[in-house]
């Protein structure tokens, strides 16, 4: 194998060859979704609905002018609502984030020194800039009954009880989530009405739920009312049906949220925030993978709010009748093979027929006798890219090198893979560059996971069935750089800089200080028992 040097840091990377689709559909959903909810639940000093303890922490609200110029004085009467037409369907719930203890999660985010510092820098200001004026507007600016900023009212009162952030798949117009409060209390309803009085600028009505809705939501008299809240030239849509409150960027998503079937949000013990996803709604590939592992329809990632951090609590989910996961620690040979800076690691203890012959594997999937079964340690290492012009970089690490001939037959598809045997594992990689990085780690020429922080190594060595490791620093640092370089290539005649500006490099370095997050699920009976670790 020929050694290939990776591109120098800060330079735009060249495009890479194709990828296996299921690699980034399932794992990408897990990684990205876990980061979304923090943007909306920052910035409130209030009381925890679970503990009743007052919070006294500094504010990390989006920076912006104290007065965004929004006011109702002299404004014309809002237009009459229009019928909401062409809602393509309810869609299926695919991914969701359940925030069981909003005040505890906010307290963590507000008390986090790294986040507080970033909100003062270009990284944080750029992240919040598009909504800074909306959420930075005060009730005094709006001549409202409240005096705090809109951010505090929405995040601290309207969303101060358990709520769900729901993504749907299916409809073409379902491009953003709905924030659903399924059991709004008096304080949330009062906050909703306060915004309605001063920010309402027209909206829509709907006489029924979209086709495909399964919730038994009663249509209010006069139909569903979806308001457009306009503040500082930014629009947010809101709706209410009984005790259900919904916020979204699109009116159709508000209607879907009002008509969604949301279970009672009861937190598992020691869990404050949970990310869940429905395998079958995320594509055929992930559904097949879930079936192969013996997972049922839903899997959840648990997190707890502790001090100034969100701490991983593990992976849980029901298992089917045919469980194909075993329990074992990750071997040192595997940890030696994986570069320390790998953004995403998914490791499995997978039971398969001893001989991977087509007839035996087919019988095994059908639940028929396939002879003796052997557990394989299998790992996927993945580097997501933040530019649609770049393919994701990945490698499959197979802990039984004698399966090499079978693997060549199984993975003999349209996307070329590069094969090698390293650290007692058969390696199939998307490119020679990825293979070279793995070889360097295996030979000790670059840091590997055995060089990671002690708690991370201990967590990876603990017995488990399904392990997900997210190295958030390298992950977000690479995505930020890719995003910058993708913008530089938008103009054909515009020259691409040889290096990124200092503020972009500074943002990358700040992101790269973020910790490693590890989640583990261990087979016990008919379910996965969660366990978490991290740096």
- The per-residue pLDDT for range 117-150, each reduced to its tens digit, is 877 777 777 766 667 778 888 888 888 888 888 8
Mean pLDDT over 358-367 rounds to: 82
201-253 confidence digits (pLDDT tens): 999 999 888 888 877 777 888 889 999 998 888 888 999 998 999 999 999 99
How does DSSP classify residue 108? H
pLDDT class for 64, splitting at 50, 70, 90? Answer: very low
Instruction: Note whether 211 and 90 are within 8 A (CB).
Output: yes
pLDDT value for 41: 37
- Cα angle value 310/316/319 (rounded, 5°): 170
d(CA 246, CA 241): 9
- When pLDDT is cut at 50, 70 and 90, the band that residue 20 belongs to is very low
Neighbours of 371 (CB within 10 A): 12
* Average pLDDT value for residue range 190-195: 90
**Residue 78's closest CA among 239, 201, 230, 238?**
201
Q: Domain boundaries in the chain?
A: 24-46+88-259, 320-534
What would the pLDDT profile of 497-509 be if each residue is shown by its tens digit? 678 888 888 888 9
Phi, psi angles (nearest 5°) of residue 306: -135, 120
Are the CB atoms for 274 and 301 separated by under 8 Å?
yes
| pLDDT score, position 464 | 94
198, 218, 197: which is closest to 208 by C-alpha? 218
Q: How is 388-430 classified by DSSP, letter by letter?
A: TTSPPEEEEEES-GGGHHHHHHHT-SSS--EEEEETTEEEEES
The confidence score (pLDDT) of residue 461 equals 96
List of residues 6+ apart from 3 with CB closer than 8 A: 436, 439
Beta bridge partners of 239: 226, 246
Q: What is the rounded CA–CA span in Å between residue 516 and residue 341? A: 10
Distance (Å, rounded) from C-alpha 442 to C-alpha 445? 8
Name the percent of the chain lying above pLDDT 70. 82
Q: Is the Cβ–Cβ distance between 377 and 347 less than 8 Å?
A: yes
Question: Which tokens sit at 445?
Answer: 């020429």
Query: What pLDDT score was predicted for residue 61?
Result: 45
| Alpha carbons 343 and 381: distance in angstroms, whole number | 8
pTM given for the model: 0.80
Instruction: Kindly state the tokens that stand for 248.
Output: 């979204």
What pLDDT shows up at residue 489? 66
Give residue 76's pLDDT. 63
Q: What is the mean pLDDT of the chain?
A: 80
Q: Report angle CA 424, 429, 433 to the nearest 5 degrees.
A: 105
Model pLDDT, residue 46: 36
- What is the C-alpha separation between 113 and 274, in angstroms, rounded? 23
Average pLDDT over residues 27-48: 39
The count of other CB atoms within 10 Å of the CB of residue 489 is: 12
Residue 173 CA: distances (Å) to CA of 97, 170, 214, 250? 20, 9, 19, 9
């Amino acid at each position: 194998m020929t050694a290939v040097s990776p591109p120098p840091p800060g330079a735009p990377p060249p495009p890479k060859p194709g990828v296996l689709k299921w690699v980034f559909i399932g794992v990408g959903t897990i990684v990205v979704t876990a980061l979304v909810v923090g943007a909306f639940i920052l910035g409130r000093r209030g009381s925890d609905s679970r503990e009743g303890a007052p919070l006294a922490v500094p504010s990390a609200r989006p920076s912006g002018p104290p007065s965004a110029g929004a006011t109702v004085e002299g404004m014309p009467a809002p237009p009459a609502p229009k019928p909401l037409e062409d809602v393509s369907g309810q869609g299926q719930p695919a991914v969701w984030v359940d925030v069981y203890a909003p005040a505890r999660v906010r307290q963590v985010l507000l008390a986090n020194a790294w986040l507080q510092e970033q909100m003062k820098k270009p990284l944080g200001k750029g992240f919040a800039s598009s909504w800074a004026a909306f959420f930075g507007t005060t009730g005094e600016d709006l001549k409202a009954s409240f005096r705090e900023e809109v951010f505090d009212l929405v995040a601290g009162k309207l969303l101060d009880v358990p709520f769900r952030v729901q993504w749907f798949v299916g409809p073409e117009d379902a491009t953003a989530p709905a924030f659903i409060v399924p059991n709004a209390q008096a304080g949330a309803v009062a906050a909703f009405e306060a915004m309605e009085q001063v920010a309402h600028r027209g909206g829509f009505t709907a006489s029924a739920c979209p086709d495909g809705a399964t919730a038994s939501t009663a249509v209010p008299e006069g139909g569903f009312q979806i308001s457009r809240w306009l503040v500082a030239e930014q629009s947010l849509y809101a709706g209410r049906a009984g005790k259900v409150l919904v916020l979204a960027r699109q009116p159709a998503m508000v209607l879907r949220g009002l008509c969604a079937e949301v279970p009672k949000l009861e937190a598992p013990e020691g869990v404050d925030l949970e990310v869940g996803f429905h395998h079958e709604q995320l594509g055929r590939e992930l559904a097949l993978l879930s079936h192969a592992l013996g997972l049922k329809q839903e899997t959840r990632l648990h997190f707890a709010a502790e001090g100034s951090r969100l701490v991983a609590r593990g992976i849980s989910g029901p298992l089917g009748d045919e469980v194909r996961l075993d329990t074992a620690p990750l071997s040192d040979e595997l940890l030696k093979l994986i570069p320390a800076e790998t953004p995403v690691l998914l490791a499995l203890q997978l039971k398969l027929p001893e001989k991977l012959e087509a007839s035996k594997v087919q019988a095994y999937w059908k639940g028929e006798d396939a002879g003796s079964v052997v557990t394989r340690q299998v790992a996927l290492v993945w580097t997501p890219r933040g530019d649609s012009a770049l393919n994701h970089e990945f490698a499959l690490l197979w802990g039984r090198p004698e399966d090499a001939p079978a693997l060549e037959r199984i993975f003999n598809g349209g996307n070329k893979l590069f094969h090698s045997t390293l650290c007692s594992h058969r390696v199939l990689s998307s490119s020679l560059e990825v293979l070279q990085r793995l070889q360097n780690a295996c030979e000790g020429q670059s840091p590997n996971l055995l060089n990671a922080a002690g708690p991370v190594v201990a967590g990876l060595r603990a017995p488990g069935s399904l392990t997900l490791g997210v190295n958030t620093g390298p992950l977000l640092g690479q995505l930020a750089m890719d995003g910058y370089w993708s913008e530089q290539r938008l103009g054909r005649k515009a020259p691409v800089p040889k290096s990124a500006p200092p503020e972009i490099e500074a943002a990358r370095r700040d992101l790269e200080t973020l910790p490693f997050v590890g989640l583990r699920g261990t087979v016990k009976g008919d379910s996965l028992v969660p366990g978490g670790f991290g740096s």
